[in-house]
Structure 1
Amino acid sequence: MAMTPARVLLTGGADQEVISTTVANEYASRDMQFLYDSRPHTPCFMVNGDSVRPLLTPTEFYEEIKVPRYFWDALLAFTRIRTAKKSVTLVALYVGHTENELIQTLADALESNPELEATLLFDALRGTRDSGKGSSASLLLPLVKAHPDRVRVSMYHTPDLSGVLKRVMPPRFNEGIGLQHMKIYTFDDALILSGANLSQDYFTNRQDRYMLIQDKEVTSYFRSLVSTVRSFSYQLKPSTSAQYALELDPHVPDPVKDCRQFRRYGLQRVRSFLKTWSTHRISPLESSCDTALFPLIQMGPLGIRQDERVTLSMLDRSLHHGRVDQGLSHMFITSGYFNFEEQYSQTIVSASTSKVTLIAASPEANGFFKSKGISKYVPDVYTLIERRFFETARKLGNEARVKIEEYRRGGWTYHAKGLWIYPPQSRVPVVSTIGSPNFGYRSLVRDLEAQLFVVTKNPSLQEKLDKELASLRQHTTAVTDATFQAPDRAVANWVKGASRVIRSMF
């Protein structure tokens, strides 16, 4: 079982603890100002860290979405579907076609509150995939029929899947071309950012990350983002000739039939959104709040690369330009899929002024483990990529500084993504990210992604972020040479050849 720095006692007693806290807050202040100064067109929201809370388990995530856990949560305005007064927003890749309880909760809330409006955004490819038992679209259609003026269900379709490619690519495989991948859940002024979708495994035994933020402005930003993407997505409508219809607003170019015009239109809409919110900037130096939130988006198909640039700059700043005179900082990066984009990978594997630990799913914790058909070989592809990374770190003489851990927990899969940065001598992190990106090629180029950089001097939030990481690492084991020598980690030669071609779709 792996341990985080917070579980290692510092020597020197209370005096050392004061030094550690001082150093941590100095780094937090520097990182706040670095992000603020280096991205002049990126919003910066200053909040009290007590309004930010990581959720630790799939069950806690589900209960937060569906209903307040306790009566006093409602009194504290921690409202969810049942107690939302004005709006509910659910954005994910898909909602499971068996999630009748969740949808019934939303239906009951709409019936009991005529002022409530619901906005839902999913991916058109995944959301309409029907295995014979239904789809996201068929599950949600009754809500649209019952409340046509208050329920809006949208389905984004990538412009990268059009023409002949659209006709020949079979369902499931066509999702590798590009998706709506953001995970955003809002309830009036409360926001949950996550990497989790809305299906049974994500509510029970698929470990992800989730962060609850109680702030009107930040929530408004993400609702505005959703509204922007909805404006160039298909709208779910009843149909007299089919089970349902997906219709574009009359002025929106069709992403399948006119992908070039669609890209131009989508880019214009997103740029307008970014311009509107670029003025929402509060300087960390001028604020009495202790936590800075920097929202970022990545929409490769439309040419929006905001998150990529900021993440790369923070990786480079921490891993190559740290103050080694105070000791090495420690960065933890997690992704359900070990498939870092080339620039990310090179920056990480050659870390020079920081330690870095990468956490990914073991083959058994991969969602494709023992799946049917060719997809059962997907864990082998990740094993191969992970091994190449491991060997590169060793060739660079960086095996002592760059470590890998694998999440392994019986009956569970792993889907968490994000990072934590521990300054030198600090037992708690001061920086974390939360959102949907996996640090891979498709996150940068193919999908729509959103995440938040959280930089905090709030002791309580720092402890909570540390506890979140510890809760993940209690189920991880270190990767060594022996890991790849195990018989069950052998990779077929044809997989080795195919991996370089198909890894951009993972």
Structure 2
Amino acid sequence: MLASLSLMSRVAPRVVPSSPFIRSFSNLPSKHEQADHDYASRMQQLFDDNRPSLPRFVIQGQCVKPILKPSRFYGEMKEHIQQAQKSITLAALYLGHTESDLVETLSEALRSRPQLKVNLLLDSLRGTRDSGKGSSASLLYPLLKAYPKQVRVSMYHTPDLSGVLKKIMPSRFNEGIGLMHMKVYAFDDTLIMSGANMSHDYFSNRQDRYIKFQNKDITEYYCDLVNTVSSFSYSLQDKGSTFYLDMEAGVPDPVKQSIHFKNYATKSMRSFMKKWSNVQQSPKDASFDTTLYPLLQMGPLGIRQDERVTLSVLDHVLHAAKQEGTSKAFITSGYFNFERRYSNTIINSKAADVCLIAASPEANGFFNSAGISQYIPPAYTLIEKRFFDAAKAAGNAERIKIEEYNRRGWTYHAKGLWVYPPQSEHPIMTTIGSPNFGYRSLVRDLEAQLFMVTKNLGLRKNLHEELCNLRRGSTQVTEETFKAADRQVPLWVGGASEAIKTMM
């Protein structure tokens, strides 16, 4: 049981406890290491069984490095921009309108290296939203104007926001219909996969996850993915003194020709997936100990790889027959709003202990915001309370624990999954990418996630350190949590949260 492992208990707020779970792996007998490798092999087989259209890359674990701090993530971004010789690919929901320093770094790189190409992919709704201080598009326009042959700026627009709905949905709220949510940062042969956007808070005090891969093949895959989505996105164009958005010739407009656009974009993505499904790398030698499986989830285009594989992995880890001991799974999302099938699979776990980590109300980006959005954190509290009660009703109150990230002055946006084999203190599998495990991620947004299975002990230790770093800012949720005065949710929020939970 989790309680006996002291997995979730706390000796003090925001401190990860010392326990048998966190001890020196080097002291474990070799049979445990072999058992971990066997567990990893079974996980790899599970992914291989989920073919077709699932590429497999095999790399050296020493070429993978988790980044722990937002400031270090920003530092790595700037360093790689300054060093890139051939290409830079940046895909995110948006670029913060105050990120002039990052744009200037791009400008300096373009000016000093005329052969350098920069490809940026953002969401059209978020990227053109102007609160009076500018937008992603207005910030990038001078860069495009100065280096028209080197810079490409694309903005994806969901086909689900069209016609009358497009006209009546107000700005900001219309983003709930669907977004380009992928986070991909590539520099020549170096890739940083993340869930973080490009803005000041994500570079300073908004905790997310970031993993760097130094490998040509996986970087090429994600650059091709961004290029493919860019091919059916609006492109930022120079109009002399200002900018405008336009579709490439022959590409249907997602707003004016929604159905035709879906068919066109789906065909493009299916072609991309077919091309890369032929990549089935095998280890070249024993040092190639880490396997990568990139997955896509693009509900509007009928592409649901990530959903299918994630459910398969959760079912295997949480419900497979027990072996020696109990495996452990940690799942984190900035927003506690797991899709129904994910929730049910977790709540009824029979073969693994589970810890869920999410933002506390104070660490939610909408905390103390103006207008109706101030009630979003209470809505998440209500959803979390219902999950907590359901786990208890299922007899899994000890097996399933919830922790909330609550670091003063910080918000929380991390998402991912870690799997620990029985009797092991280091994970053999993790995910990194943009999905939040919610309905939106499955149905409305464009998402990219990378599953990684590794036998590399150094990488496993680093992934464990990454998780511990997140948990140092978290505290365990108990019955008393929901009795606190500041956790009382207005009755009307319950009904409203049900009505909009698919957009949260």
Inter-CA distance 115–285: structure 2 relative to 1 (3 Å threshold):
closer
**Structure 1 position 384, deviation (Å):** 0.4
Residue 58 of structure 2 is matched in structure 1 by: 46
Instruction: Say whether 1:228 aligns with 2:241.
Output: no
**Structure 1 position 451, deviation (Å):** 0.9
Give the counterpart letter for 1:162 in structure 2.
Answer: S
Alpha-carbon contact 2:323-2:422 (below 8 Å) kept: no
Alignment deviations for residues 463-494 of structure 1 (CA, whole Å, 9 cap, x no partner): 00000000000111000000000000010011
Aligned residues: 491
Residue 255 of structure 2 is matched in structure 1 by: 256
Pick aligned residue for 1:439 from 437, 445, 448: 437
Distance of 1:14 and 1:2 partners within structure 2: 24
Residue 314 of structure 1 is matched in structure 2 by: 313
Distance of 2:18 and 2:177 partners within structure 1: 39
**Structure 1 position 108, deviation (Å):** 0.2
Matches within 5 A, 1:322-401: 322=321, 324-401=322-399
**Structure 1 position 19, deviation (Å):** 3.2
Q: Secondary structure at the match of 2:368?
A: coil
Distance of 2:460 and 2:36 partners within structure 1: 10
Distance of 1:293 and 1:5 partners within structure 2: 31
Alignment deviations for residues 127-178 of structure 1 (CA, whole Å, 9 cap, x no partner): 0000011000000001111111110000000001000000000100000000
Inter-CA distance 225–22: structure 2 relative to 1 (3 Å threshold):
same
Give the counterpart letter for 1:450 in structure 2.
Answer: A
Residue 73 of structure 1 is matched in structure 2 by: none
Alpha-carbon contact 2:59-2:283 (below 8 Å) kept: no
Which shifted more, 13-22 or 53-62? 13-22
**Structure 1 position 17, deviation (Å):** 4.0
**Structure 1 position 48, deviation (Å):** 0.3
Per the normalisation by structure 2, the TM-score is 0.95
Counting aligned pairs with the same residue, the percent is 58
**Structure 1 position 32, deviation (Å):** 1.3
Alpha-carbon contact 1:4-1:470 (below 8 Å) kept: no
Inter-CA distance 14–226: structure 2 relative to 1 (3 Å threshold):
closer
Distance of 1:402 and 1:259 partners within structure 2: 43
How big is the alpha-carbon RMSD for the aligned residues of Structure 1 and Structure 2?
1.6
**Structure 1 position 15, deviation (Å):** 6.4
Give the counterpart letter for 1:271 in structure 2.
Answer: R
Matches within 5 A, 1:63-74: 63-67=75-79
Alpha-carbon contact 1:10-1:16 (below 8 Å) kept: no
Alignment deviations for residues 223-272 of structure 1 (CA, whole Å, 9 cap, x no partner): 000010001000001124x7310000110101001100000000000000
Residue 273 of structure 1 is matched in structure 2 by: 272
Inter-CA distance 132–9: structure 2 relative to 1 (3 Å threshold):
closer
Instruction: Mark the runs of 5 or more structure 2 residues left unpaired by the alignment.
Output: 1-13
Distance of 1:269 and 1:90 partners within structure 2: 20
Give the counterpart letter for 1:186 in structure 2.
Answer: A
Matches within 5 A, 1:18-167: 18-67=30-79, 80-167=80-167
Alignment deviations for residues 164-212 of structure 1 (CA, whole Å, 9 cap, x no partner): 0000001000000000000000000000000000000000000000000
Pick aligned residue for 2:449 from 451, 455, 459: 451
Inter-CA distance 17–378: structure 2 relative to 1 (3 Å threshold):
farther
Q: Secondary structure at the match of 2:180?
A: coil
Distance of 2:114 and 2:284 partners within structure 1: 43
Distance of 1:304 and 1:330 partners within structure 2: 29
Residue 487 of structure 1 is matched in structure 2 by: 485
Distance of 1:287 and 1:231 partners within structure 2: 39
**Structure 1 position 37, deviation (Å):** 2.9
Inter-CA distance 121–15: structure 2 relative to 1 (3 Å threshold):
closer
Per the normalisation by structure 1, the TM-score is 0.95
Distance of 2:138 and 2:493 partners within structure 1: 36
Inter-CA distance 182–259: structure 2 relative to 1 (3 Å threshold):
same
Instruction: Say whether 1:477 aligns with 2:475.
Output: yes
Alpha-carbon contact 1:6-1:466 (below 8 Å) kept: no
Q: Secondary structure at the match of 1:370?
A: coil
